[in-house]
Every structure is written in C-alpha cells, then in structure tokens.
Amino acid sequence: MAASSSLFSTSFQGVMSFQNTNLCYKEFNCRYSNFIRKQSSHSNSKYLTHSRLFPNERSSEFGQNDKFSQKNGFLCRTLKIENLPSFSVGNKFQLTDVIESQQFDRDLLSAIFEVARDMEKIEKNSPGSQILKGYLMATLFYEPSTRTRLSFESAMRRLGGEVLTTENAREFSSAAKGETLEDTIRTVEGYSDIIVMRHFESGAAKRAAATAGIPVINAGDGPGQHPTQALLDVYTIEREIGKLDGIKVALVGDLANGRTVRSLAYLLARYKDVKIYFVSPDVVKMKDDIKDYLTSRKIEWEESSDLMEVASKCDVVYQTRIQRERFGERIDLYEEARGKYIVDSHVLEVMQKHAVVMHPLPRLDEITVDVDGDPRAAYFRQAKNGLYIRMALLKLLLVGW
C-alpha cells in the first residue's frame, strides 16, 4: 500500500542561493508516531526520512537508496519509502502467538522491554491495575513448573485478569484418557481468551497455535524452546550489564536438552559483536542446528571444556542444570554429565567485577549456595524479571501496544 501524501505535513522553504547553486527542498514536519499505518495484524507502516540538504553535502552521507538529480539549477532528492513496525499506543501487537525466539527482531525486543519497564512500575506502584479486567487466561502445564506458571498467573492477576489453571495436565486432564492435544486446545479456547502451555513434546506449541483461534504462549515444549524465558534472560542481561551488543556469554551445563539456552542463543544472535561460549559435558553438547544458525548470523561461538578460563572472559555465565528427565533410562549418562561444571566461589574469583551469574532455575548443585550472597548472583533478580516480561506479553497479546 503506497503512503498517502495526506499523511505528511510539508512546508516549501523556497529557493536558496548557495555558492551559485539553487537548492529546492521540502521539510517534512512530522514525527514517526504521527503517521504510522497498519494493515491486518502486521504493520506496513510507511515513513519518509529527511535531512536538510546543502550543496556541499555528499550523497554518501545518506542511505545507499537515496537518489539525487540536478535539473535547471535545482538539486532534488528522492527519498526512499520504507517499512517500520508500529509500536504506537493503541495499535495491535505484531504477533498473534509467542512460540519461538525467531519471531523477535531487536526492534520488537526493545519495544517489549519498554512495556516491561512500564509493567514494573505498575507492579510496584499500582497493584490494582485493571488493564486486563474481563480477560481470562488458561494455563495448560503438562510438565512441572514453579516460576513459569506462577509468574504467568501472577502477571495476569496483577493486571486485573482471571486465571484457569491445570498444574499437571498430563496426569490430571483428559490427556490421561487419550485426548489429543488439538481437541484439548479446541475445548479450552472456548473457556478463555489466551492459553499458556507447557508440554513435554518439542513442537507441541506450534500444533496448539495452529489449532487455536486465540493467542497461545509457549511456556516450554520439551527440549524445544522456551521463548518467554529467553525474553526475560535478555531483559535481565541488559539491566545487569547495561548493553547487549558486544557482550560475551557462557552457556554452561545441559546444552543438548536445555530449551532455555536454545531460545537464548536465537535472541543473542540479534545483537552485534556477541560471542557465545558453549561449556558442557560431551554427552550434552549444543546441537548443530544452533551452531549452524549462529554461524549463518555471523555470531562467533566457541566450545570449551575449561569453565574457569571462559568465566574470566565473559560478561554473563549462564548456568543450567543437567536434566535427568531427558535421559530416560540412561541414568549412566546422566551421572556422567552431572557435577562436571559447578559455579562456586572459585569461579567467582576469576569473574570480572561487572559480570553476572544467571540460571533459569531450578538448580540442584550446579551453583553452590555460597554464591547467592555475591552481588553478581543475578538469578533471583532474573526470576523476578520474568513477572514483568510476562505481564508485558499478556498485555500486548490481549489489548495491544
């Protein structure tokens, strides 16, 4: 859809004489938020960029797609019309579901983080918010959860909404009777406005979203992805370190089965000059699909077996537990992997002063309790940030920006 000229307020500034060259230009007196347009659920917003152009300015100072021509002593500039996402208040959210980290680019991430900061103010200052009054969220958790389920339920209630919940849908729902996931989703969507689901099978969230006519949020699908965890992780890194470009991150522990580290790797690839270190036992190394993706995005990565060396270089040490539930009957492999990499006071000694230790929790013994008292232990602050991110996502999916 072409941008209408009525969207723009223009003022003709006349003809200027500058070093015997006449220059004609228009100044577009408008701001980005004044002329955003949307189409369907995604933005096809158009905008014009303009700087005052003088004869001694080189064309290289502008975008490669800017075109210039001189006719009858006038220097004219053709401005490129481009797409921008619309994050203005009142507009619809760009996503209909939250299923995987690849859905988010850095502009959308930044906008979501702004909403999360607003949610933090609401949580601290306005406990009686009614933003989601009249909305009902259903949580379908086929695997155990403490932080994710409770933070979603807290987020919904803090915004004035209501909750329908199942703590162990695998055992205490009709799934135990053989009901298909699709039939469950079709039923539950009739009772609610949004579904938050955790499932033991990778890809289950995509199946649910394809079935449902209401938003679906993936709260973890087996060894697949956990996008809301990755969002709160990146949000935490930005708050703790102060930047996302140019950081070094160590992903430690069960990288083969850990959905959190997979989702986080996808999001870190949105930023510039990031380096990721993979530190894990051989039996649970990061899978090739993530490595290939990072390589395709020109993100530097390195595998290492030396946690102490890596920790001394990194801004973030992201520890994860070895997940026994993913090993099935191969307890021997679990025991082989468990306890190999532990973050303790010795690791803290080599870490930089500004660096932080993160963990998606729960932990077993992979971070010793004496680390908790160090200000660089960020994992409980990280868990708290999950509330703000999930408040933001519920608000955006149900009522928009």
Q: Which residues is 136 bridged to in the sheet?
A: 162
The answer to whether 112 touches 389, Cβ cutoff 8 Å, is: yes
106 part of the active site? no
Q: How far apart are CA 324 and CA 306, in angstroms?
A: 23
Provide the residue type at 322 as one letter: I
Catalytic one of 46, 50, 148, 321: 148
Catalytic one of 46, 226, 270, 326: 226
Q: Which residues is 356 bridged to in the sheet?
A: 316
Label residues 119-136 b or e (16+ Cβ within 10 Å = b): bbebbeeeeebebbeebe
Catalytic one of 31, 58, 177, 353: 177
The answer to whether 298 touches 132, Cβ cutoff 8 Å, is: no
Catalytic one of 50, 198, 262, 338: 198
N residues, the chain? 401
What the block records as the tokens of 117 is: 């900061």
Task: Count CB atoms within 10 A of the CB of residue 62.
Answer: 18
The answer to whether 250 touches 316, Cβ cutoff 8 Å, is: yes
Query: Rounded to the nearest 5 degrees, what angle is found at the Cα of 61, between the Cα atoms of 59 and 62?
Result: 75
148 part of the active site? yes
The answer to whether 58 touches 65, Cβ cutoff 8 Å, is: no
368 part of the active site? no
Q: Which residues are catalytic?
A: 147-148, 177, 198, 226
